[in-house]
Amino acid sequence: MLDMGKATLELFDEKQAEVIDRLEAGMRISGPIRFALQVPDIKSAMERLLANGAKLIDPPITTPWGDTNLRLQDPDGMQITLFQSSEETE
C-alpha cells in the first residue's frame, strides 16, 4: 500500500486479492483490477451508485480492522469497493 496523500494505491498479489475478495464478496470474484474509494458516508454513496446503474455484489461488512466495506460492480463490469473508515463512523 502506498500513501499518496489523498489517495492510496494498493497492489496485491493473487493470494492477498483472494483474501480481500473473500472478505468483501465471499469468494474470489474480481478481475486483475479493482477500484476502491474511501467515502465519508457509505450508505449514501452506495445509494447514488445503485441509482446510476451499479449492481450490489455484497452488502456492507465490518472488516477485521473496523472499517465498513461493500462491493459493487459498475455497468461496464468494473468492481468497486467503497469503504468508510471506522474513525468516520464514530
pLDDT for position 83: 92
22-43 mean pLDDT: 86
Which whole number is the average pLDDT over 26-35? 83
Single out the residue of 83, 82, 81, 79 nearest to residue 33, CA to CA.
79
Q: Calculate the average pLDDT of the chain.
A: 85
- Residue 27 clears pLDDT 80, i.e. is over it: yes
Where along the chain do its domains lie?
A: 2-88
Strand partners of residue 76 = none
Tell me the fold of 2-88. 2,3-Dihydroxybiphenyl 1,2-Dioxygenase; domain 1 (3.10.180)
For the chain, count helices (H), then strands (E): 2, 6
Is 81 in a helix, a strand, or coil?
strand
Q: What is the pLDDT of residues 44-58, one digit of tens each?
A: 999 999 999 999 998
Q: What is the pLDDT at residue 2?
A: 55
In Å, how far are 2, 17, 65 from 14, measured between CA atoms?
18, 5, 21
